Amino acid sequence: MKIIYSPKCLDYCETSHPESPRRVRESFLFLKEKGFEFEEPGLCNEADLLLVHEEGLIEKVKNGNFFEADTPDLPGIYEYAKLSVAAAILAMETALKGGTSFSLMRPPGHHATKRRLGGFCYFNNLAIAVKKALSSVKRIAIVDLDGHHGNGTQDIFLGEERVVYLSLHQFPAYPGTGAYSFENCFNFPLSPGTGEKKYLEALAEALEKVKKFNPELIAVSAGFDTAKGDPLLQLNLFPSSYEKSGKELASLGRPIFSILEGGYSRELPKCIYRYLQGLIKEES
């Protein structure tokens, strides 16, 4: 298990924004204490961004020429967002070489569509890594476990025959999409207060579809705002629930890379740790 991480991702901050550097810093320290190994991402270039995003969006982020209340125009955000993309790419490459990997970075990505940023996301880290991987593998399954619907990822891959997208998320909630499934995008909307039992049933149903699709690679949008006590959502999972999810994913026996998305409670470090434990236990 390799964790992709750069302390540079802690260097930007918007006062009282839930997507704070603290959440990643505390997770890094917790995982370090548990003995995990870390690797720093390199750089990504504009060609990588163009695999997914329209030039207009890239220019906007580069020049700070936008206003979005939840996704602020902060100094240097273009470089931070690119570093998060680079980490996702490295996580994907690690998985293709046979290792399991987790990108512990910010900003997150799954709300960024082809042409729009939003929901704390500037560029769609996971989508860019998946597009890049499609040059060496035939089929990829994306499992989006963030508590919000990944409207950006769905926008990017809708109708792409070589990708299947599955998302478990609270509904109704931000961004208001994900009530229905379309083509290759399967959505599992869950009511507030769902809890572990029903959640894991929905996950088992989603993973059946993954099995059927027979992917060569699995990409996970690993969000932890599904945890009990999260200030944004009410899906009420426990840290131990993530170990179960990790185990189920690993039991599919395919290379897996995971990218941190949301997760805003103080339990985030523990939730990530248990998720990784689940992935590793099945691995060994």
**Does 144 interact with Zn ion (rule: CB under 5 A)?**
no
**Does 267 interact with Zn ion (rule: CB under 5 A)?**
no
Mark whether 110 is an active-site residue: no
Tokens at 51, concatenated: 């695999």
**Does 262 interact with Zn ion (rule: CB under 5 A)?**
yes
- For 212, phi then psi, to 5°, come to -60, -35
Taking the C-alpha atoms of residue 22 and residue 138, their distance in angstroms, rounded to an integer, is 38
Q: Which is nearer to Zn ion, 48 or 230 (CB)?
A: 230
Given the residues 53, 110, 111, 149, the one annotated as active site: 111
Q: Which of 152, 178, 223, 239 binds Zn ion (CB under 5 A)?
A: 223
Greatest extent of the chain over all pairs of C-alpha atoms, in Å: 48
Q: Which is nearer to Zn ion, 20 or 283 (CB)?
A: 20
List, in sequence order, the alpha helices (H) in the chain: 21-33, 46-50, 55-63, 77-96, 125-133, 151-157, 195-213, 239-250, 268-283
Q: Which one of the spans 69-77, 140-148, 185-193, 210-218 is the region binding Zn ion (CB under 5 A)?
A: 140-148
Q: Which of 148, 149, 270, 274 binds Zn ion (CB under 5 A)?
A: 148
Q: Which one of the spans 51-59, 89-97, 142-150, 214-222 is the region binding Zn ion (CB under 5 A)?
A: 142-150
In sequence order, what are the beta bridge partners of 222?
Answer: 260
> Which residues contribute to the site for Zn ion (CB under 5 A)?
146-148, 223, 225, 262
Residues serving a catalytic function are: 111
